[in-house]
Amino acid sequence: MTLRERYDAMTRAEQGVTLFVGGFGFLLVLALLTGTLTPTYTLYLAGLTGMYILLSFGLNAQWGYTGLINFSVAAFFGIGAYATALVTATNSPLSIPGGVVVGLVLAILASAVIAVAIAIPTLRLRSDYLAIASLGLAEVVRQIVLNQRDWTNGSGGLRGIPDVFAGWPVLGGLPERLPGLEFTEYAVGVPGLFQVRVLGFTLDTPFWTDLLNFVVVVVFVVAVYLLLRRVHRSPWGRVLRTIRSDEDLASALGKDTYGFKLQSFVLGSIVMALGGVFYAFLAAYVSPGDLEPINTFYVWIAVILGGSGSNRGAMFGGFVVVAIREGTRFASDILPSQLPVNIPVLVDVYGAIVSDFGSTRLLIVGLLIVLVMRLRPEGVLPPQRELVWPSALEERDE
């Protein structure tokens, strides 16, 4: 298929998102070339996006598929991050030997066990009970991490988390061994009209470290996406979607809805923990601050905005959330702190917006959600096609 045919075969929502992402990518390349963004920071942002995508995948597998309301995204994320950090951090109070693999296994086990523990008493009850219990769980996990100093080092956090592959053959210490690449600066432009300086940076160890992280998160995201796509289109996923629309109907047709809800909840929680595992390596430092409820909130925004029930929507949502989170930070750096023209009222409003970007960010998120709910309540990219095991439809629909 040529690109053109591919584009034509898309639905309008898909075309819109493709154009948006394409345009955004183009701006990113420009920003990189002109030095507005450094390559290392860009890779860090990409890693952060990957992490949010994993969290959104997880929540989507719970809320989007099955309609389970989970307000403890940050807790499952934290379980993943802390499981990894406890194994690998230099100041970990628990001396569990191991690297990324042990951390990963521990994260999966811990998140699965805690997911089951909270799901068993609540999933038989009305759906709001899980919501309330998960809200409590998020706080409990945060308080434990904060107060059990002899396990978690409390508010000091866990630092000195090495590279993902530290100690592995070949991959271990690779970033240190790779040579620095120097790019000479050029000046391009139309003489007399404008001129910009491009390139002029050196790619060395921090860059290679982030590049390796980026590769890791891409592998995580792709693997999880492929897994989720398969289960979402399967009869298993169909039962979850039936439960979301009408749980009574699913039971009346003989489906053990409790069992399905449990599976969906555990699956989503494990995926969230994977996001945490990756974050520990990305930031090389985890602290109780990472478990703040605001992160749960961002992930909900991502899923609702992207389109509940859609894996690609969750991906898009994760991307937008990072764009807002980091974009506002970026804007606060480059915008002048005072409005250049003196219009009464406006000057004050502008001053308030620019001086407190933390709040402005929430304001933007709020406005965005209101807009989406008004104009497109199903989200930007809800599932676009019939969800049936694809190979079973071959021949039939030709």
Partner 1 sequence: MSETLTTGANREKDDTVLEVEGLHKAFGGLVATDDASFAVERGSITALIGPNGAGKSTIFNLVSGFYEPDAGTVRVNGTDVTGMEPNEVATEGLIRTFQTPRKLEGMTVREAMLVGASDQPGESFLKLFTDPSGVEAAERANIEDAHEMLEQFEIGHLATQPATDLSGGQMKLVELARAMLAEPEILLLDEPVAGVNPTLANKLSDHIARLNEEGVTLCLIEHDMEFVMNLADPVIVLDRGSVLVEGPSEAVRNDQRVIDAYLGGDSA
C-beta closer to partner 1: residue 246 or 292: 246
Cα dihedral 135, 139, 140, 142 in deg (nearest 10): 140
- In the bound complex, what is the minimum distance in angstroms from residue 261's beta carbon to partner 1? 12
C-beta closer to partner 1: residue 181 or 226: 226
Inter-residue contact 68 to 265 (CB < 8 Å): yes
C-beta closer to partner 1: residue 5 or 394: 394
- Return d(Cα 306, Cα 254) in angstroms, integer: 32
C-beta closer to partner 1: residue 26 or 389: 389
C-beta closer to partner 1: residue 192 or 254: 254
C-beta closer to partner 1: residue 115 or 137: 115
- In the bound complex, what is the minimum distance in angstroms from residue 12's beta carbon to partner 1? 16
- In the bound complex, what is the minimum distance in angstroms from residue 246's beta carbon to partner 1? 5
- In the bound complex, what is the minimum distance in angstroms from residue 303's beta carbon to partner 1? 15
- In the bound complex, what is the minimum distance in angstroms from residue 120's beta carbon to partner 1? 15
Note the residues at the interface with partner 1 (CB under 8 A). Answer: 230-231, 234-236, 238-239, 241-242, 244-246, 248-258, 263, 267, 309, 382-383, 386-389, 391-393, 396
- In the bound complex, what is the minimum distance in angstroms from residue 377's beta carbon to partner 1? 12
